Amino acid sequence: MDYQYTGKLYIEVNGERVIGPGRVELLERIKESGSIRQAAMQMNMSYRQAWQFIDHMNTNMGDPVVISVRGGKGGGKAEVTPKGLKVIGEFKVFYKKFHEFLEESSRQISL
């Protein structure tokens, strides 16, 4: 038998789950593409769903994590704010530590 510890990591804000791996991936893809639509498509997510995630983060993180400039040449653009970049950086550091914890724990399983 191959036993492995696995798990999930989130950041709660005032007791509400606001940040998780999917949302951080969304932020990273918006940062790279400059487009919520593109980022959503890459993740097989509807534009509407992506906007709901962003809206939830913008509302709950204290400062917006994504700002979007609608219209203009070539349609709207989206930008990850300094707060959003901080969220990405913060989460990735602890996600890495979390995975190290899971690997280390898995090596010690005795069942």
* Residues of the shown chain interacting with its own copies in the complex, contacts defined by CB under 8 A: 1-15, 17, 61-62, 83, 86-87, 90, 94, 97-98, 101, 105, 109-111
Please report how close the Cβ of residue 13 comes to its own copies at its closest, in angstroms.
6
Residue type, 111: L
Please report how close the Cβ of residue 110 comes to its own copies at its closest, in angstroms.
7
11 vs 43, beta carbon nearer its own copies: 11
72 vs 111, beta carbon nearer its own copies: 111
25 vs 41, beta carbon nearer its own copies: 25
Q: 105 is written with which tokens? A: 């724990």
Question: Residue 41: which residues within 8 A CB-CB, separation 6 or more?
Answer: none
79 vs 104, beta carbon nearer its own copies: 104
The b/e string for 59-89 (b: 16+ C-beta within 10 A; e otherwise) is eebeebbbebeeeeeeeebbebbeebeebbe
- The neighbour count for residue 36, using CB atoms within 10 Å, is 22
Please report how close the Cβ of residue 97 comes to its own copies at its closest, in angstroms.
7
